[in-house]
Amino acid sequence: MDPNEFDLMVSRSWQASGGMLEPEVFEHSMLRNTRRRSRTRSAVRRDQTLSPYRGARREGSQKTEPSDGLPDESSPLLPSSSASTTESGASDIYPGSNASPYLSGVSVARFWIIFIGIEVAYFIACFDSTIMASSHPVITSYFGSSNSASWLSTAFLLTSTAFQPFLGGLSDAVGRKSPYVITMALFLVSTLWCTLAGSMTSFIIARAVCGAGAGGMMTLGSIIISDLVPIEIRGAYQSYVNMTYGFGAMLGAGMGGMMADLLGWRWEFGVQLPFIFLCLVLAIMTVPDDLGLHGKQKQSVREAMKTFDFAGSFLMSTSVTFLILGLGLGGNVLPWSHPLVITSLIAFAILFPLFLYAETLATKPIMPMYLVKQSPHMNLLFSNHIAAFLANAILFNVPLFFQGVLLTTATTSGLRLVISSLVSSAAGTSVGFLITYTRRLKWPLVLGSVLLVFGTLGLSSMQRGWPAFVYVLFLVPTAAGTGFQFPGTFMAILAVADQRSQAVVTSTLILWRNLGMVLGVAVSSLVVQNSLWGYLDGFVEGPEKEAVIELVRQSVEAIRDLPEPYREQVVRSYEAALRATFLMCVVLAVVSMLLILPLRLPRLGRSPNK
């Protein structure tokens, strides 16, 4: 392949002709043919001067086929032959966008304003979602509730997961703009609430509302980009998104602890408010009102709700809520024999199969069953689900290792995550460009899954007494693994889906990814807290045993102030409990790799059936 293929793909969007700009579409690479392209261009020019279809199409008739078989507005994303942007419908909808290579007729300038707004929103949401990694010991110690630390991230991720299917289906009916603006406004208000929270309960509720806003905002942002960017160059723009995601996650994880130590944890949320407000204004001003409707008439919310999969949405949300409730309380806050814990787990065991059954009956399911039953969709979803589980389990527990075992401060703990965040961002950024260059979709998935196996093995072997840089290096393989796997999965599943199913495929992928994130925090916290309880009971000895155990389960920061031999006993307990968690991650990383290796994926530019 020509090394300059990507540049050629972009430059083909414009062709100088007689001092004017003549638009072209991004053609499916498999279908490029000089004779076909020349014939099509001649047909377009002939149609522009002689064909009566142009007037009919401007009147809104989309069913009339041009006599030469050129594609119209209802044609698929990857046409069977090249055509002008005007003939494909973009300019007919937005007459002022004749030179735009983007879909839905959005002009170049307008697209970049929309894209920059989405990027800034992504950055803030990623920053917000990772600040808990290094600052949750500070916040929970402030409220005296360290044994409830997992609920800070779990509440955020649970609501973001629960609302995503609802928003994806709603945006197909009413357009992308209204749900996008509403979720961003919700994120703004809830972030202000986090800044002002006066109790642990209030803060957890605020984080839950914040998750609904941030999750919806990020999901709809991804769908909007898919609506506007052709699949042939989607990888490049996905790289920009990955770069922003990594940079936001890096600053959130790295600066969260420092801000909590130096400025106070409330400022972690207060600094986000002006940027969220700016993104809200840009979204209101620039996102097209009819984006995502695909030529359909915009429905009211009431009309959209008539066909919405309420049963599926309710069953999915409640089943996952009961699962997280049971795992979060069992063996940590309440004994496993407690009626609330048992009831929660039984409810999940009943409701989740009902959710899967309801999806087989729904007219417009929030999660089409072919995505979780047929390869390659099934393999991509579940391997991505496990990778998300591992990413959050590691992100949540490595700072706990630094602060509970190595006895570092929150600032030092956060700064040690910066390198891994940079590596993840660099890997994710390179993947999009390399996929566009090579047109191969499988290699980032294989490389990412292998790196996750070796990375989790390294984390499970960490011990006290090593040089500081060794701990940082041990974080690199898992960071690179998720950096390769997340964007690689996103590109692969979009490549095997048609344009009209982009929203449901995107929302389903993000749904399972977020479920992985939710379970990553909840299950790893379950393993840590239950293991810790047992190890503390076995290792801690002395007349103040019970008081020490209760103290260190409520505040990680209290470990540094313990007298010997209690401090050494508690540190040994934390080290053993965290090793058990990382060993669990090794097993899951192997499962993810086994899902990836047998996959058969098409090259970008070829039909999925070839």
Question: Do 437 and 514 lie in a common domain?
Answer: yes
User: What's residue 83's pLDDT?
Assistant: 36
Give the pLDDT band (50/70/90) at residue 11.
Answer: very low
Q: Is 541 exposed, middle or buried (0-12, 13-18, 19+ CB in 10 A)?
A: exposed
User: What's residue 175's pLDDT?
Assistant: 80
| Assigned domain for 205 exists | yes
pLDDT single digits (tens) 421-461: 788 878 887 887 788 788 888 888 999 999 999 999 999 99
Q: Cβ atoms within 10 A of the Cβ of 473, count?
A: 13
Q: Cβ atoms within 10 A of the Cβ of 594, count?
A: 12
Question: Do 52 and 156 lie in a common domain?
Answer: no
Question: Do 407 and 258 lie in a common domain?
Answer: yes
| Assigned domain for 4 exists | no
Question: Do 89 and 113 lie in a common domain?
Answer: no
Q: How far is CA 329 from CA 339, 346, 524, 527, 549, in A?
A: 11, 14, 13, 12, 18
| Assigned domain for 344 exists | no
In this predicted structure, which of 34-38, 167-171, 594-598 has the lowest mean pLDDT?
Answer: 34-38
User: What's residue 474's pLDDT?
Assistant: 92
User: What's residue 239's pLDDT?
Assistant: 76
CA distance 397 to 404: 10
Domain with 492, as residue range(s), is: 108-309+363-596
Question: Do 591 and 489 lie in a common domain?
Answer: yes
| Assigned domain for 150 exists | yes
| Assigned domain for 112 exists | yes
Question: Do 87 and 137 lie in a common domain?
Answer: no
Question: Do 405 and 487 lie in a common domain?
Answer: yes
- Helical (H) or strand (E) element with 20: strand 20-23
Give the pLDDT band (50/70/90) at residue 67.
Answer: very low
Categorise residue 264: left if φ over 0, alpha if ψ from -120 to 50, beta otherwise: left
| Assigned domain for 496 exists | yes
User: How much is the CA Rg of the chain, to the nearest whole Å?
Assistant: 26
The 3-state DSSP class for residue 15 equals: strand
User: What's residue 58's pLDDT?
Assistant: 35
pLDDT single digits (tens) 140-192: 778 877 666 667 777 887 787 777 767 766 777 778 888 899 999 999 999 99
User: What's residue 454's pLDDT?
Assistant: 95
Structural contact between residues 42 and 81, judged by C-beta atoms closer than 8 angstroms: no
Question: Do 450 and 522 lie in a common domain?
Answer: yes
Query: Which range scores top for mean pLDDT: 241-245, 265-269, 353-357, 520-524?
Result: 353-357
| Assigned domain for 460 exists | yes
User: What's residue 343's pLDDT?
Assistant: 93
- pLDDT, greater one: 90 or 448: 448
Out of 101, 132, 152, a domain closes at 101
Model pTM? 0.65
Structural domain total, the chain: 2
pLDDT single digits (tens) 474-507: 999 999 998 898 888 888 888 777 766 776 787 7
Residue 575 predicted with pLDDT over 80: yes
Q: Which is nearest to 124 in space by CA: 235, 317, 282, 236? A: 282
Question: Do 48 and 154 lie in a common domain?
Answer: no
% of the chain exceeding 70 in pLDDT: 76
Residue 137 predicted with pLDDT over 70: yes
Residue recorded with tokens 């002008």: 84
CATH assignment at residue 567: 1.20.1250.20
CA distance 525 to 522: 5
Phi and psi at residue 26, in whole multiples of 5°? -80, 110
Beta bridge partners of 16: 21
Question: Do 125 and 234 lie in a common domain?
Answer: yes
Question: Do 19 and 114 lie in a common domain?
Answer: no
Residue 592 predicted with pLDDT over 80: yes
Residue 317 predicted with pLDDT over 90: no
Q: Collect all residues with Cβ–Cβ distance below 8 Å to 159 and sequence separation of at least 6.
A: 208, 209, 211, 212, 215
Residue 573 predicted with pLDDT over 80: yes
Question: Do 83 and 177 lie in a common domain?
Answer: no
| Assigned domain for 29 exists | yes
